[in-house]
Structure 1
Amino acid sequence: MATSRRQFLGLAAATPLAVTGALSLGAGTAQAADSAYVMCYFTESTSLGDGTDYGLHLAVSQDGLEWTPLNQNNPVVTPTEGDLGLRDPFIRRKQDGMFVVLATDLKGTDWTYVSQYIHVWFSADLCTFTGYHRLKLHGMNTHAWAPEAFWDASRGTYAVIYSPVDDTGHNAIMVNHTTDFLTASEPQAFFDPGYDVIDGDMAVGVNGVNYLYFKKNQTLVGARSTSLDPGSFTEFSTAVSHGGTEAPELVKSLTSNTWYLYGDTYTPDGVFYVWQSADLSTGTWTALDQKSYTQPVNSKHCGIRAITSAEYTELLTYWGTPSSNRLKSYSYPARYIRHADFVGRIDEYPIDPYLDSQWKLVPGLADPAGISFQSVNYPTRHLRHHDYQLRLDSDDGTPMFAEDATFYRTPGLADSDWASFRSYNYPTRYIRHSDYVLRIDPVSTATDRQDATFRVGY
């Protein structure tokens, strides 16, 4: 028989911590100052086809907004127990300087699959992973979704928070305490305001206050408390959303007082939106322009952690950078250059098949000082202009094709940190979009310059 809800939520006397083989955790090992970020995520395309993978993916960033996927956006490690896949991964640095990775035990979208376990890995550098196991958090016939962890100094333990669904369908944020992520205490209700909540993310000890952000009614909302005691948090913030939004992730800028709040739209879209605030205590957020951030392709439900510059460099060196690029429109930053029926255009992310928006920027076919755009999924084809419109055509080996498919990259005409592309054989014309279709045209107005400006990223 299933445990009663009252027993499950820990409303009776507190259960003593049950752990074995605990690490001796002190103040933590000394380390260099954090100056970059790592993101963990899984991937899911809109059709659940190419670009879908339920292993642990990593990306790095120097500003927490523009991301470089590692390992060609392939998984760096994949679960070997349970449902043999993961969702909702999370990374934190433990008190001893090691990383721990937690994740939901679920592969795909079979929401009827039930696991009381979460996946756990340890890593010194996020290049190699050790100690993989599953940690059981409760005994109910329900899930242990979206696990995260924070250090509770008053208890000398890590608190693992996660989202189960009880037999009545009510969602709450639960907590178990552990010293080693090998065994844990019995669960307690960490935040159960009487309405459905899920996907908790914490910012601990910000000017003496602890903040919990969560999903409520398809929006992201914050609660706060001066303690880390279960049941002590009170909702206070203004809700934010972009359509149905989940998976809040709080990120502190390493160079200013700015905070970012990431949110993820529902399956099948999986679009990240970001809000910013200069002061967490206000509970108010302003949507960030999509020009300012770019998520890894097909990424879902991310976790973000600050790392050192040495770790950032090591991760790039070990895993490598992607061999292809995406190009984001300046004037429509939700849209990327892609081919559709072999016509060049800009369309909204996510794009399915996603490879239609992947390009190799190779030496120019007519002049190696320029570039040509080689399709990743049609590698014998390049973008070229014909009657000034861009098409994805097969290289016929003629000088005309080479010239039509060659462009010179210049500083962005609307923003010099971005890029524009001047035609090789029509040097007064640039690649631009018009009604979302790509052309080469003369550029004279501010609108022209914006339409002819793109960000080369991943």
Structure 2
Amino acid sequence: MYYLAAMKKIGLLILLFAQLTLVTAQSNRSVYLFSYFKGNGEDGLHLAWSSDGLKWASLKNDSSFLKPTAGKDKLMRDPCVIRGADGLFHMVWTVSWSERTIGYASSKDLIHWSEQQNVPVMEHEPTAINCWAPEIFYDEASKQYMIYWATTIPGRFPKGDTASDKNHRIYYVTTKDFKTYSQAAVLYDQGFNVIDATIQMNGNQYVMFLKDETRYPPQKNLRTATSTTLTGGYSAPSKPITGNYWAEGPTVLKKGNQWIVYFDKYRDHKYGAVTSTDLVHWTEISDLLEMPKGIRHGTVVTITKQELDKLLKEK
């Protein structure tokens, strides 16, 4: 009798443990989050989510999660969000069309954010005219963050594009605490006007996705470059990975062995995507996308189902 009661109790405990394990697994299941802006970035950070990377639904009725306060123009364009080694979400963004600074803030839950900083990454370059589309990469080897963006400094580089007054190159700084930063240095210069870089790891190689901003002869397409070193040595650009349209603002999702590159078809006022398994051969999948109306340049980050549930409660 005692033996049967004990076995029954053990069975109930095993069942309870299995149920708790299932609940925990479900709450920790990953989904995808897209940070983006709308219009000119006046109203700040927008978020959307997806379970498959193709069908995206806006959160909070597509209203802003964070109003911009950094910079003179108070814009929040091109928001890049990553999960840091400290567990926090770190975000940088474009604060203006014409300032030498970028915005920075952090959050534990993507709802409550730290005080916004206006980081003077190019203040030491008095003729620099902008800091566009900053992104963050956490480097495991050096235990520090690299922030990188595009800037034009008139006269700094030979004018290879006769139809443009811009000579954008990709610059970077490093930081361990988002309080002190290294001095900005050139990250990518292959002799052409380049903006909108984003970097991903592929094995032991760094892959930079970038926009060839050459106006004449017009390029306005996305390409890749590779390096074995995060802070330099990137190759000449690949052939275009996007089609016969103008594209900008790439962000990348890796699903198993599949790469998905999302981008803004800004002349067509809609979003696009291409996919590849080898980073060489690319397939257009723009017609498979369902995106929030008016979505502009942002980034994709993975979050847990539990984190999503909290975001879904925001109205």
Task: Give the structure-2-normalised TM-score.
Answer: 0.80
The residue type paired with residue 309 of structure 2 is T
| Secondary structure in 2 matching 1:310 | helix
Does residue 199 of structure 2 align to residue 209 of structure 1?
no
2:248 corresponds, among 246, 249, 252, to 246
| Secondary structure in 1 matching 2:74 | coil
In the other structure, the counterpart of 1:436 is: none
Cα distance in 1 between the residues matched to 2:244 and 2:306:
36
Does residue 67 of structure 2 align to residue 74 of structure 1?
no
Residue segments in structure 1 that go unaligned for 5+ positions in a row: 1-31, 321-458
- Residue-by-residue CA offset, 1:211-235 (whole Å, 9 max, x unaligned): 0000012000000112213234442
Q: Does the CA contact (< 8 Å) of 1:242 and 1:273 recur in 2?
A: no
Q: Does the CA contact (< 8 Å) of 2:225 and 2:234 recur in 1?
A: no
The residue type paired with residue 62 of structure 2 is N
In the other structure, the counterpart of 2:221 is: 219
The residue type paired with residue 246 of structure 1 is E
- Map 1:75-114 → 2, pairs under 5 A: 75-82=64-71, 83-106=73-96, 111=97, 114=98
| Secondary structure in 2 matching 1:130 | coil
Cα distance in 1 between the residues matched to 2:282 and 2:195:
20
Residue segments in structure 2 that go unaligned for 5+ positions in a row: 1-26, 156-165, 213-218
- Residue-by-residue CA offset, 1:181-227 (whole Å, 9 max, x unaligned): 223111111011011111001112x2211100000120000001122
Of residues 216-225 and 307-316 in structure 1, the stretch that sits farther from structure 2 once superposed is: 307-316
- Map 1:246-395 → 2, pairs under 5 A: 246-253=248-255, 256-266=256-266, 269-280=268-279, 283-290=280-287, 292-317=288-313, 319-320=314-315
1:33 to partner: Cα distance: 6.1
Q: Does the CA contact (< 8 Å) of 1:223 and 1:237 recur in 2?
A: no
In the other structure, the counterpart of 1:428 is: none
Q: Does the CA contact (< 8 Å) of 2:272 and 2:286 recur in 1?
A: no
Cα distance in 1 between the residues matched to 2:223 and 2:70:
34
Q: Does the CA contact (< 8 Å) of 1:54 and 1:87 recur in 2?
A: no
In the other structure, the counterpart of 2:47 is: 58
Q: Does the CA contact (< 8 Å) of 1:237 and 1:284 recur in 2?
A: no
Q: Does the CA contact (< 8 Å) of 1:189 and 1:231 recur in 2?
A: no
The residue type paired with residue 257 of structure 2 is N
- Residue-by-residue CA offset, 1:313-353 (whole Å, 9 max, x unaligned): 22112x24xxxxxxxxxxxxxxxxxxxxxxxxxxxxxxxxx
- Residue-by-residue CA offset, 1:143-170 (whole Å, 9 max, x unaligned): 1110001012333211101000111421
In the other structure, the counterpart of 2:137 is: 150
Cα distance in 1 between the residues matched to 2:100 and 2:87:
28
Cα distance in 2 between the residues matched to 1:288 and 1:297:
18
Cα distance in 1 between the residues matched to 2:30 and 2:46:
21
Cα distance in 1 between the residues matched to 2:171 and 2:195:
10
How large is the Cα RMSD of the aligned pairs?
A: 1.9
| Secondary structure in 2 matching 1:55 | coil
1:289 to partner: Cα distance: 4.9
| Secondary structure in 2 matching 1:174 | strand
Cα distance in 2 between the residues matched to 1:33 and 1:228:
31
Task: Give the structure-1-normalised TM-score.
Answer: 0.56
Richer in strand (by share): 1
| Secondary structure in 2 matching 1:315 | helix
In the other structure, the counterpart of 1:117 is: 101
Q: Does the CA contact (< 8 Å) of 2:271 and 2:286 recur in 1?
A: no
Across the two proteins, how many residue pairs are aligned to each other?
269
1:65 to partner: Cα distance: 1.6
Please identify the structure whose Cα radius of gyration is greater: 1
